[in-house]
Structure 1
Amino acid sequence: MPADLIHLVRHGEVFNPDGVLYGRLPEFHLSERGRRMAQLAASSLAGRPIVAVTASPLTRTRESAEPWIDRFRDGLGGEGLRIDERLIEPANRFEGLNIRAALKRDPFLARHLLNPWRPSWGEPFASIAARMMAAVADAHAGVEGGEVVLVSHQLPIWMVARTAQGKPLATDPRRRRCSLSSITTLAHDPAVAVPGAAGFVEVDYQEPAAELLAEAIDLGAV
């Protein structure tokens, strides 16, 4: 029997005093508040049969996965954190820059913003959705029952949600429903025929770190 549920968890707040778009850059660690967010996320599913925890290879997702490993160690059967490259943040042409400041210094950079529906500044939405759905399918099939946690990033998780909902992938970044340390939960229903969703449907969304969001300095959206 495959997994009962797949929980897609966004990482917590990152320490980012310069406000840069950190993308895939190494050594961007969680802030102290981000660590508390990650703890709240893991605590929110206490008692659930979590049998595997997988994260993207970036520092902030690995650190966000630590509370899950600690809390659900008994259910993991001695296995530690799994890493899946497909869960990674998309590449972005503005990586390492404070976007507003960079555009003021070099207005020519705005050429990368010409097509927000693809998007022109990074990996196509369709590509993100395809790799994420493949990772979800493998996580679902890779265990014998129980529930699986995948720790990833805002845009990749949002692409999964939009795919499962059968809605267009391109949306305003300010309107993405995927806050820090949020949990988007999927189940598999073969009777559902949404194109690209491979039978996965969204069954829950929660924000266990909601009490800390108002204090957050770095929201990490790209």
Structure 2
Amino acid sequence: MPSANPTPASAASVTVHLLRHGQVHNPDRIVYGRLPEFHLSELGHKMAEEAAAALAQRREHGARLVYLASSPLTRTLETAAPVASALDLEVHPDERLIEPRNHFEGLHVDRGQLSKMSHWPHMINPFRPSWGEPYRQQVARMADVVVDAGRRAVEIGGDGAEAVLVSHQLPIWMARRSAEGKFLPHDPRARECNLASLTSLVFDDVNAGLRPRVVYSEPAAHLYPGVNQLPGL
């Protein structure tokens, strides 16, 4: 996922960690999208703490984690909070990290809901997709924020510095598929972007406009048993 407008500069290696938020309290299992006041569950807070601990351990082993940004939604800010504490960093809210807009926001989507004719115009093209923000737009904004964060990390911590961006499953998955040169349309059930996971983008040179390597990890995996891992929930 190269930057849309790479600028000439000296070579600078950097790692940008994309952290998905923890489990959300959502007993009605609605598509919460960009709705306000959807908080992490008690387990979700534990997941965020596990991710923070993993990043703090990385710092103990010499990593220079110097920049932290987050989607401005409640669940991502709550996930960023223990990271900020563990790394002694300020959280920078960034709209480019936000959840994609979705026609089904606020609804519990089941067969009955999908059978309503009012929804049909929004389901015409699953490859765009027609029910929400186009995949290409998600990739574009994520590419911008990743490269900006990487460059900011290098400004602060020098060559080899690292940044953490707290976001949501779909934009993180889009960033990964772009980085790996894969088609953006996909089966949501196949996403490898679990709760409080880290999708780390490793740039040999963040200024070169080249695709990064991808490293994936799940610091909170031991908390997953019994947790709903359906896309978006």
CA displacement 1:59-114 (0-9 Å, x = unmatched): 000000011011000xx3xxx21011000000000000001166167354243222
Q: Corresponding residue for 2:188?
A: 173
SS at match of 1:149: strand
What is the percent sequence identity of the aligned residues? Answer: 49
The Cα of 1:211 is off from its aligned counterpart by: 1.1
Q: Corresponding residue for 2:77?
A: 62
Q: TM (normalized to structure 1)?
A: 0.89
Structure 2 letter corresponding to 1:106: K
Q: Corresponding residue for 2:5?
A: none
Cα distance between partner residues in 2 of 1:53 and 1:214: 29
SS at match of 1:142: helix
Cα distance between partner residues in 2 of 1:84 and 1:102: 36
The Cα of 1:155 is off from its aligned counterpart by: 0.5
The Cα of 1:220 is off from its aligned counterpart by: 5.0
Runs of 4+ in 1 over 3 A off after TM superposition: 217-220
Q: Corresponding residue for 2:204?
A: 189
Number of residue pairs the alignment of both structures matches: 213
Instruction: Answer yes or no: is 1:93 the counterpart of 2:103.
Output: yes
Cα distance between partner residues in 1 of 2:199 and 2:73: 20
Q: Corresponding residue for 2:216?
A: 205
Instruction: Answer yes or no: is 1:163 the counterpart of 2:174.
Output: no
Higher RCO (CA 8 Å, separation ≥ 6 residues): 2
SS at match of 2:110: helix
Cα distance between partner residues in 2 of 1:107 and 1:214: 37
Long gaps (5+) in structure 2 = 1-10
SS at match of 2:30: coil
Q: Corresponding residue for 2:152?
A: 142
Alpha-carbon spacing, 1:119–1:148, altered in 2? closer, same or farther (3 Å): same
Alignment equivalent of 1:115, drawn from 117, 125, 129? 125
Long gaps (5+) in structure 1 = none
CA displacement 1:156-175 (0-9 Å, x = unmatched): 00111011101111101111
CA displacement 1:21-63 (0-9 Å, x = unmatched): 0000000000000001111111112223211110000000000
Alignment equivalent of 1:33, drawn from 32, 43, 48? 43
Structure 1 letter corresponding to 2:213: E
The Cα of 1:219 is off from its aligned counterpart by: 4.4
CA RMSD of aligned residues (A): 2.2
Partners of 1:164 and 1:202 within 8 A in 2: yes
Structure 1 letter corresponding to 2:220: A
Cα distance between partner residues in 1 of 2:116 and 2:223: 35
Partners of 1:13 and 1:219 within 8 A in 2: no
Q: Corresponding residue for 2:7?
A: none
SS at match of 2:202: strand
